[in-house]
Amino acid sequence: MKTIRLLLLLLFTLLVVSCSQSETPTPVATNAGGTLVPDATATIPPVVSPTILIPEVTKEVATETATETAVSPTTPAATNTPSAAVSVTQRAMPKFATFAPFRMETSPTLVTDPIAPDLSNVINYFVLSPDQLARLGESGVVVSPGAEKEFFTVYEKARYDNVPIFVTSDSLLHSYHLIFDKVLRTAERNAFIPLLQTLNETMLAQADAQYQELVGTPWEDAARRSVAFIGVGSQLLDATVAVPAYAQDLVTAELALINDAGGILPSPIFPGLEYGEDYTQYIPRGHYTLSEELEAYFRSMMWYGRMTFRLETDDPDVGRAETRAALLLVHALQNATVGGRSALDAWLDLYNPTAFMVGRSDDLTAFQYIDVITAVYGENPTLDQLTDESKLDLFISTAEQLPPPRILGLVIGETDDVEQVTKGFRFMGQRFVPDAYIFRELIWRNVGTSDQPRQLPNGLDVMAAMGSARAYTILEELGETNYANYTTQMDKMQAWTGSLSEAEWTETLYNGWLYTLQPLLVVPEAGYPQFTQSTAWLDKQLNTSLGSWAELKHDTILYAKQAYAEMGGGGVNPPLPQEALGYVEPVPEFYARLSALAAMTREGMGSRGLLSETDASSLDRLIRLADAFQVMADKQLRGEPLTDNEQLMVRFYGGELEHLVMASGDTDSDDPFAQPYMEEQPQAAIIADVATAPDYNRDGTPDPTVLEVGVGRVDELYVVVPVVAEDGTVFLEIAKGGVFSYYEFPWPANDRLTDDKWREMLAAETAPDRPTWVGTFFTPETAYSDIQRAIYSFQESITWGYWLLEEQWNWTAGATAVFQPELDALKSESHYIGRQWINANYRSFDLQAPDLAVVTVRETWDDTLYQAQFDYPEYNDEVLGHRGPYTLDVTYTLQLVDGEWQVTNLVFANQPPAWE
């Protein structure tokens, strides 16, 4: 038998080499994006089986969409095993959606003066710390800790404070995460859970029927274990399901281990697993902690996704035993019916949408086993035919030619043959995703030595493999590249990702999400704003990409191997303050890909009836935002001013984000028009474990560690941006936006973190430190936003004071003493002033005591002098004069009183010009 297997393997290797495709990679669209690439059609990647040699049989086409390719052998088969080239069905999975980004030719041509190190040529709307100012003068960018729990509050407060807004890629990516997670859990609640419930019932009944027929045969134990296997999945989903008494002891023992989630322990149903199962994986995480229903679904699908019926192990009897059970499960899928349809069709209804969202199974599926079953036993054999012991070894040797999993998803020994002990059937296998594959190739046993193994990966591994030279440099600085074989494996991963076409990158929403991050990893070309040319900005973009990637892992953790009211009053209001001009992050290719990803999500899930009207509307809103920001980014790079409507969209961006956050909540009604609700203040903080190191204590007991990645509070980003005014003039200003706070740290596997526990750690300020490399752009010092807000409120009150000729609510005695003489003089002449605030440029700040601050501001105003006809300003009052725009240098003294900053005094270094 061993000789036959060796000959079969040799022949298979020759066939694969002779039939392989060209290794020339399909070029991936560049960030510049001048040429439209062909639309990428998103289909579920077919499960492709290699051509295998099996005894000659007659085979019919399985489905109308299936295609068959006959490959002639190039080497004779072993003479004692009749064989022939056999067609292998490559199933064309159904089309879900199209990835069709709109790309435009972007030629950055805007030329600006360099940023002065002391920021003397920059308009600064903020009260910033010395370190913040120094970093802005050096690199044009700085990030500080934020207190806000969601992105929209950062932007809404910026609008209220009338400071320049910087639209970040972080905030848009976070919005897509919210929608993606909502779409997924809605599909799970409304479609997947009921479908799994029905599939469980059918499979359990079919497996029980098999057992009754096989009692007293060599297949009795396999039949009992297949019943127990489905019984566990069934009772995890619904504890009231009745399991046959002969299998209940196995089910009860397995359920106890799963619910306890105590570590790596022997499995009652899979006794052949030498190192046992990692039961910590069954701790519900991600959005699966939101309800008992989702928790149950998580555990059931985790069971079906993790447990492998292996073809071969070190003990051949174990491989035969597990394969018998696998064959019975596949036979049950083929012959059971769900609502008049094949159970296999019901399985596809669950598999296909999740494959579209996340990816295809990394392990062998029922369809691949059916191909081999058909070849070895004939078309859909009877149970008597399937249990023919004389063909079992032939099935195993034939199926061994199928591809092994590319991601190690179970606990094995250091010297085990990875392919031998991992290849096998999974009922609903966890999915192949690129980042997990990259991780697998960059940890032990692929990287490191037995003495110095690389047990856990680093999030930067993914970014470096996807083409970020800066990520690789940081990995070098961290010493990660010093592990044996690291550079060789990284070269391999970079070559692999570089060979993927856009169509391959966008086969699934998961892959498309990663593909959308790629433009953020590209070093901007010449002509982009000065701040984008700094190392600090490159690292900030890495932080953005990793923060979004953490949200992706959080959302897919189960499947992947996670109104402003104007001030009231009678008569006419004074001139409104001039609105600060905003800026959009200059990444047009990113916006194009995000728009295409959102459209692909809408089309793919909508075409299957898996998208609510609310979620469809949210995706449409995100598409409109991304499309608009792509146009704005292009205009900024070419030196064109944004229109009033575009600036309005930037200014009210926080409201758009708030709408998307609220729409991502759940409803407590089946009514499609029911409004989502939030039980508590929404927050962006999430956590996900992405890799496991099965460490061992000195006594040999398992002590596994996981790599946790997550985001916390929304950090504050300050950037020196070039703004083109409506008249074409260009000036530099500091703008503010929200960005991810990214965390990555090892953590005990038996305490895999949930979102709730992570948020408790953040609230208690016990979260681990950020990665050290963020120090290029991150400072622990924060802006004094409360002081800026108090001064701006006071400046607004000055406008009202000169308009109404009255003392205002927030004027202290010191402030009133400054303005009252002029107000009295105006009132005596029946004059009043329409004073418009243009901007405020903060020049110095001195916190003299915890409750005392002195701030110097260069203010710009524009005034109109009116003759009052009555006691209150009217529309047709006569204009007597005009002055401005002009600047005033003002020194404010502020006192902290009852937790609020108040202006207690102000001194003007100069006076307004004469009236014209």
Check residue 411 and give its pLDDT. 46
Using CB atoms within 10 Å of the CB of residue 501, give its burial: 0 to 12 exposed, 13 to 18 middle, 19+ buried. middle
CATH number for the domain harbouring residue 840: 3.10.450.240
Distance CA 150, CA 789 (A): 20
The encoded tokens of residue 809 equal 């609510």
| Any domain includes 867 | yes
Is pLDDT at 514 greater than 60 in this prediction? yes
Which of 446, 468, 503 is the last residue in one of the domains? 503
β-pair partners for 901: 896
What SS3 class is residue 754?
coil
Check residue 361 and give its pLDDT. 79
0.85 cut: is pTM over it?
A: yes
Longest Cα separation, the chain: 118
Give the mean pLDDT of 825-832: 94
| Any domain includes 461 | yes
* E strand residue ranges, 76-118: 84-85, 88-91, 95-99
Domain count, the chain: 2
What SS3 class is residue 267?
coil
What SS3 class is residue 814?
helix
| pLDDT tens digit sequence for 189-211 | 999 999 999 999 999 999 999 99
Check residue 334 and give its pLDDT. 95
Cα Rg of the chain, angstroms: 33
Check residue 406 and give its pLDDT. 61
Highest mean pLDDT: which range of 64-78, 441-455, 538-552: 538-552
Check residue 364 and give its pLDDT. 85
Task: State the residue range of the domain holding 462.
Answer: 438-503
| Any domain includes 539 | no
Full DSSP string of 115-132: PPTT-TTEE--S---HHH
Give the mean pLDDT of 615-627: 97
Check residue 123 and give its pLDDT. 98
Is pLDDT at 673 greater than 80 in this prediction? no
Distance CA 285, CA 143 (A): 29
Give the mean pLDDT of 404-426: 59
Which of 459, 478, 503 is the last residue in one of the domains? 503
Count of Cβ atoms closer than 10 Å to residue 567 Cβ: 8
Check residue 34 and give its pLDDT. 35
Distance of CA 781 to the CA centre of its chain: 28
φ/ψ of 309, rounded to 5, equals -90, 95
| Any domain includes 903 | yes
Check residue 140 and give its pLDDT. 98
| Any domain includes 607 | no
Alpha helices per DSSP H over 292-411? 292-306, 316-335, 343-357, 366-377, 383-386, 392-399
| Any domain includes 826 | yes
The vertex-498 CA angle with 496 and 504, nearest 5°, equals 80
| Any domain includes 888 | yes
What band does 559 get if pLDDT is binned at 50, 70 and 90?
confident
297, 766 contact by CB (below 8 A): no
φ/ψ of 613, rounded to 5, equals -65, -35
Residue whose tokens read 């758009």: 656
Distance CA 496, CA 107 (A): 30
| Any domain includes 873 | yes
The encoded tokens of residue 422 equal 């991992």
Helix (H) or strand (E) holding 161: helix 151-161
Which of 488, 503, 518 is the last residue in one of the domains? 503
Is pLDDT at 62 greater than 70 in this prediction? no
| pLDDT tens digit sequence for 312-355 | 887 889 999 999 999 999 999 999 999 889 999 999 999 999 99
Q: Omega before 885 cis (within 30°)?
A: yes
